[in-house]
Structure 1
């Protein structure tokens, strides 16, 4: 599953559980929010690593041309 899929599933999960009336569903809601937050953090971390790796590859290419 991709990160965006996990985020959408977490949001849908939260909306469904919020619609429950008169029940103690705070645990389920917090679980959905934790899954959504975790997916977003992993996605942001992967994007940052991808950009750093691309910059390192670009710098290496430039240095190979200089020598």
Structure 2
């Protein structure tokens, strides 16, 4: 059952990964990379979106933000 996630805390992202909510060949590697970046320094955020929607993602209109 898929659900759109526009914002996700680092702890929620880690919990969802442990519980197997992300497909291994699809979203899981993206969420793992974003979580690793967000974890690397306090206050860091990572955006997951498609390249042609990067501007909209930065503006908060699309994509998923993982915040540490």
- Report the TM-score, using the length of structure 1 for normalisation: 0.33
- Structure whose alpha-carbon radius of gyration is higher: 1
More strand by share: 2
Larger relative contact order (Cα-Cα within 8 Å, sequence gap ≥ 6): 2
- Report the TM-score, using the length of structure 2 for normalisation: 0.32
More helix by share: 1
